[in-house]
Structures are given as structure tokens and as C-alpha cells.
Structure 1
Amino acid sequence: MSTFTGKVAVVTGAGSGIGRALALELAGRGAKLALSDVDTAGLDETVRRVEALGAEVKSDFLDVSQRETVLDYAEAVVAHFGKVNQIYNNAGIAYHGDVEKSSFKDIERIVDVDFWGVVNGTKAFLPHIQASGDGHIINISSLFGLLAMPSQSAYNAAKFAVRGFSESLRMEMLIAKAPVKVTVVHPGGIKTAIARNATVAENFDQADVAKFFDSKLAKTTPIDAAKTILKGVEKGKGRVLIGSDAIALDLLQRITGSRYQGLIAAVSKRAMPRSKK
């Protein structure tokens, strides 16, 4: 049985980056696609590209932080295709700021999109994915869901939460012997616009933060990331690491325990953009 051919795959955040790359790779493997994003221009471009590959596509504006909207969206997708086999909870945003300078609103926005967006998508589609008899939930966390970084407390909190939520769900599905696999994905630095679109606290310069990420951290292309994710899906992996940086830093924190925090703090003090006084 094919993992992708003829399967209905939902991809959130499909207007750019990893989401667009997943859509293209899934289309090339014969999947039917339900694509969404808040960036309608980017989403339209993704749709144009996947339709050129012959894929059947449903596209919608969707803010994953809006629970009732996501619940309604799941019903609309099932009404359109008749089933859903896979969901890639990929939509996310970034934020850079120290705890002391971050507002509650800044933190809540990151958690609403990056954590609750995953929960909303999972809860909305889980019954339908179970009903398919051959389902898979793929939740995108981050390298920062494996270890913490300074000035990333909000993002770390959301991505650590995605990891815990996904791993617990995977065990629940195993215990229930449900026909649903669960994979949590931890990308390292990916060459997307996430840093350029990020918000920052008042004591950081957004351009400096974006330049640092793009020049120093973003190493893996979205297409390579998508291919790694789909390879993990084919193998039914519980966890997928993307990029040599994710692999190396995961190993660092497992070997050193909490001592990695001192090492990361020292490197960050020298290399990362300095806060404005």
C-alpha cells in the first residue's frame, strides 16, 4: 500500500517554506492536497505549482489559532475529499526577545499559533484520520523543541509543548492500537522567511536578528527538509531530525544534560545579535 498515492494530505502553513515544499513533494507522490495559510498570495503560488504537477487541491485561508474555524475547516475538507489520511501541522511564527522585555501579548501570540495551532489541527482532524484506517499526524516542532536558547523562551515553550503533546499522543495511539501514526519533526535552521517575518522585543533590532539567522543558522533547503520528513513518514518514525545542526545539538544536550545551557549561553553571548541598551 502506497504511503502517499491517492491519500488526502492536509498541510497548514503551505504558502511558503517547509509547507510549500511538503505540498510539492506530496503532489509529486500522487497525494490529494488540502492546503491552507494566512498568506493568500503565497498560498495561491503554491497551488499554481502543485496543480502544474497534476495534483487535486483544495486551498483555504486559515488562521490555525482560531479553534472554531479549524474545526469547521476539518469538516469542509472531509466533505470535499470524503476522507483525510494525513495532516502536517506546519503553520508557525517566530519571535525573538528576552523574558524581561517580552509582553504577555507577545508570548501568547507565539503559543496560540505554534502550540495551540498544532492542538487545534490535531483535535479537529484526529477522528477523521482514525476513520481513514490508515492515518498519520505529523507535527512540526523545532530544534528549539529539543534544547533551549536565550531570547527564545516563548518559541521554546511552544515547541517543547508540541514535542510533549505529540509524543504523548503517539503513545496513546499505540496503546489503543489505533490506525494512526504520529511523528514529531525537529528542523534545525531552514532557509525560509521565518526569521525575516518574525517579531522581536523592543530591545532587539529585527533586521539584525533576521540577518544572523539567514547567514549563520539557515543551512537546509525547504525541499531537502520536506524530503526528510516524508522519508520519516514512510518509515513510521516517531521523531525526525532535520539538518546536521539538529542532529549535533540533540546529541549535545543528551550527552551533557543541563550543562549544555552554559555552553550555549557562552556561544550566544559572543555570536548572537546584541540587545539594544
Structure 2
Amino acid sequence: MSKQRRTITGRTAVITGAASGIGRALAQRLSSYGCPVAIVDVNEQALKETEASLRGPSLVKVLDVSDAQAQREFAREVRDWAPQPIGSVFNNAGVALGSTVLDAVPEDDDWLWNINFHGVVNGTRAFLPILVEQDAGVIVNTSSVFGLVGMPGQSAYCSAKFAVRGFTDSLRQELRGTGVSAVNVHPGGINTNIVRNGRFREEPGGPTKDQVVKEFAAMTRTEPDKAAAIIHRGVEAGKSRILVGPDAYMFDVLARVAPTRYFDVIERMESSLRNRANR
């Protein structure tokens, strides 16, 4: 079945996690394409910096996406404010956590799941009734390449991103026959501060957080503005799943052709990149 093109350019866009990274880049790009943008984040200062960089109308809200009631109230606020119909809702806010299952702190896992998964669910449930009522629009949920493969030290992150993938795929099937659609986004390594701002449990003999941040920077392949362009084009092209960056395509292939052995390949590649980062 051929993809059906969507039009989000010029329509109101809602973006969570807009204070930095992909969220900021999406806000800047869509604003430059004539979209009024409603942006949220918990980081008020950085969110104001995003607002100052926008070209068109904006609605700005300091908001914790894990707060379902706050998300519902924001959806009503956007509906009343929007100068154009809501064309897209980007549930993009996310955080990072590094820990083994054995040494995990349950409160840290809950913190991540509440933002990375429940934040997506909250945003979807808050805005979906509006989109269904107008019979138009798209929900765009940020999963990850770690929603395609499981990685050591990333059980909380992977489980949340796999959950986003499953939730969004199910939603897409429920929306068949309507004017509303749902999209999964799987970014690879994007040059953002997600690792630097995340929580990390250092293990005896293991890497320090500074080392992990440095290694992540060496492995990133895509800048946020490039990621935003890929996502924008993919949504308008009618894609249901958007892979962002060359490493995302590699992860996707490995997950399918070597579903139980992909980490052997990834480990060898990471070792090479780690050596390069530590030079």
C-alpha cells in the first residue's frame, strides 16, 4: 500500500523537550516553515532561548511531561490559542540513564520511564481527542535505535523506547480509516546533551560519566538540525517509521538479520570508536 502524504507545514505544531537537541531544532525548522509552535520543557531558561530563536508565533510552557493533568491542561490551552489547526504533535522529551540491571536504582528507572514512556502516553492522550475531532493531524513519538535493539547498561532506556514503539504501532492501527496518523521516530546518535544531562551509575573498574559522554560524542553521526529535517520530510512523505542517521539504518538491519547476535557486531564497532575517542 502506498504512503499517503501529509501536510504539517503551516499548521500548528506541538513539541515537547524543546529546550535543546532535536526538540529545539524541530521548533526552529517548523517555525521557519510557517508553523505556529507550542513548545514545552522543564528547563525554563533554555526554553526561553528556543523561543527567542523562532521566527513566528509561539506558545511557551514550562511543563513536566510526566504530569498527565498538566499535559491535558496544556492541550486545552493550545486548542484555544492555535492560530491554525494542530497539524502535528511531537512527543519528543527524553532523558538518559546508564546502569546495569543488577545495580539499578528503582527510583532512577521510574524517573526515566515516567518521562520517556509515560510522557509520550500523556501527550498522546492529551492531544489525540483534538486531532480526532478535527479528523486531521499526526502524532509523532520519539523512540530510538535503542527501541530496535537491547543494549547492556541501558535496560531502563531500552524498555521505555521499546514501549514507545509498541504503543505507537498499536495507535497507528487503531487510527486506520481516520484522518489522524501515528509515527515512530528512531534516532541514532544525535549530537545533543542527553547523555551529559542524564543519570549514570559508575561501576568499579568501569568508565566514568565523563568518559561515556566523550565516547557518545565520538559516536554521534547526526546534528539536531539534520535530524529535524529528516523527521519533517519523513512525516510529510507519509512514513510510519522514520530512521534518523546512518547508524539508525545499521541498527535496523542488524536487528533483523542477526536478532540474537547483533551486539557482537556493535561491540566491535564501539571498540573502534572508543579507541578513536580516547586518542
- TM-score, structure 2 normalization: 0.91
Aligned equivalent of 1:207, options 210, 216, 233:
210
The residue that corresponds to 1:46 in the other structure is 50
Question: Over aligned residues, Cα RMSD in angstroms?
Answer: 1.9
Question: Within 1, Cα distance between the matches of 2:228 and 2:268?
Answer: 32
Confirm whether residue 17 of structure 1 aligns to residue 21 of structure 2. yes
Residue pair 1:150, 1:265 contacting (<8 A) in 2 also: no
The residue that corresponds to 1:192 in the other structure is 192
Question: Within 2, Cα distance between the matches of 1:178 and 1:133?
Answer: 6
Query: What letter matches 1:90 in structure 2?
Result: N
Residue pair 1:33, 1:58 contacting (<8 A) in 2 also: yes
Question: Within 1, Cα distance between the matches of 2:273 and 2:99?
Answer: 16
Q: Return the offset for 1:133.
A: 2.5
The residue that corresponds to 1:256 in the other structure is 258
Structure 1 residues 34 and 255 mapped into 2: Cα distance closer, same or farther (>3 Å)?
A: same
The residue that corresponds to 1:224 in the other structure is 226
Q: Return the offset for 1:226.
A: 0.3
Question: Within 2, Cα distance between the matches of 1:78 and 1:178?
Answer: 20
The residue that corresponds to 2:58 in the other structure is 57
Q: Which runs of 4+ in 1 moved over 3 A?
A: 261-273
Query: What letter matches 1:66 in structure 2?
Result: D
Deviations 1:229-271 (A, max 9, x none): 0111111111000111010121011111212144445666787
SS at match of 1:257: coil
Question: Within 2, Cα distance between the matches of 1:2 and 1:49?
Answer: 26
The residue that corresponds to 1:181 in the other structure is 181
Deviations 1:201-233 (A, max 9, x none): 142522111111012x21100000000001111
The residue that corresponds to 1:140 in the other structure is 142
Q: Return the offset for 1:85.
A: 2.4
Question: Within 2, Cα distance between the matches of 1:119 and 1:262?
Answer: 33
SS at match of 1:88: strand
Residue pair 1:64, 1:91 contacting (<8 A) in 2 also: yes
Q: Return the offset for 1:118.
A: 0.2
Residue pair 1:253, 1:260 contacting (<8 A) in 2 also: yes
Aligned length: 267
SS at match of 2:258: helix
Query: What letter matches 1:145 in structure 2?
Result: G
Structure 1 residues 21 and 65 mapped into 2: Cα distance closer, same or farther (>3 Å)?
A: same
Question: Within 1, Cα distance between the matches of 2:8 and 2:165?
Answer: 24
Residue pair 2:150, 2:158 contacting (<8 A) in 1 also: yes
Aligned equivalent of 2:34, options 23, 30, 36:
30
Query: What letter matches 1:194 in structure 2?
Result: I
Confirm whether residue 76 of structure 1 aligns to residue 81 of structure 2. no
Deviations 1:100-119 (A, max 9, x none): 11111111111110000000
Structure 1 residues 99 and 234 mapped into 2: Cα distance closer, same or farther (>3 Å)?
A: same
Question: Within 1, Cα distance between the matches of 2:67 and 2:25?
Answer: 24
The residue that corresponds to 1:92 in the other structure is 94
Structure 1 residues 69 and 253 mapped into 2: Cα distance closer, same or farther (>3 Å)?
A: same
Query: What letter matches 1:212 in structure 2?
Result: E
Percent identity for Structure 1 against Structure 2 = 41
Deviations 1:39-72 (A, max 9, x none): 111110111111xx2x110000010011111111
